[in-house]
Amino acid sequence: MTFIENLRRPADKDEFPVCETGFFTWDIVANLLYGDGAVAEIFGLDATETASGLPLEAYVARIHPEDQPGAAKVIRDTILTQEPEQQNYRVRRANGVFQQVMAFGRCFRDKNGIPSLYGGIVFPLPEEAPVATPLLDHCLAAYDIAVKEGNMAVAEHIVEALMDMDWKNTGCTRPN
């Protein structure tokens, strides 16, 4: 089965992990970050305002002060290099409690080479979850390389390997 066929077939309810994953897109030029309800919940922001777009600074203000410089550097480096990013940091939820999250993102440039959009996902990590695992990091890096080189057969095998991983320390749970 090809990668695309695999994406099109109906999934078993036990096949994929379930996470409170939020999706976002940042219009860099307008400095408006649009997020879904999960992003609003994760960052402790109003869902309507989040869906309509808020300045990046509204989100950065919700990141733990100790984590802000590192998060800003990763975002800046991602914009400059156009390489995908993965990072962990703490965010203040609506109840005032900080929670560790994992974020993946990437910058896209317009036809003139100007950084224009930054899209990604973010999801909360359980307290006991490790920040990262070497195996997961290497698998994700290998997947990015395979896709970048157009080797979808290898990318498909990596996806299959990732699905076989033990999800107990990833921040996700398999449904019963």
Helix axes 152-163, 134-148, angle to 10 degrees: 160
115 by Cβ neighbours in 10 Å (0-12 / 13-18 / 19+) ranks as middle
Is residue 88, in this structure, part of any structural domain at all? yes
pLDDT (0 to 100) of residue 169: 47
Give the SS3 label for residue 126.
Answer: coil
pTM to 2 decimal places? 0.63
- Whether 109 maps to a domain, the answer reads yes
- Identify whether 16 is part of a domain: no
Q: Which domain holds residue 118?
A: 23-128
Residue 45 has a CB neighbour count (10 Å cut-off) of: 21
- pLDDT at residue 18 in the model: 38
Q: Is residue 7 part of a domain?
A: no
Enter the tokens of residue 21: 């994953």
pLDDT for 171: 46
How far the first Cα of the chain sits from its last, in Å, is: 26
- Between β-strands 98-109 and 85-92, what pairing exists: parallel, antiparallel or unpaired? antiparallel
Reduced to 3 states (helix: H, G, I; strand: E, B; else coil), residue 42 is helix
Single out the residue of 57, 28, 29 nearest to residue 43, CA to CA: 57
CATH code assigned at 62: 3.30.450.20
163 in a domain, yes or no? no
The answer to the question of residue 3 being in a domain is no
pLDDT of amino acid 2: 52
Residues 6+ apart with CB under 8 A from 101: 42, 88, 89, 90, 91, 122, 123, 124, 125
The pLDDT score that the predictor gives to residue 138 is 79
User: Mean pLDDT in each 10-residue stretch from start to end of the chain (176 residues)?
Assistant: 47 45 96 95 95 96 95 95 93 91 95 96 76 70 84 82 60 39
Q: What's the domain count of the chain? A: 1
C-alpha to C-alpha distance for 140 and 57, rounded to whole angstroms: 29
pLDDT of residue 132: 58
The two structure tokens encoding residue 173 = 């749970």
Residue 136 lies in a domain: no
Dist CA 3 CA 55 (whole Å): 37
pLDDT for 168: 46
Residue 60 lies in a domain: yes
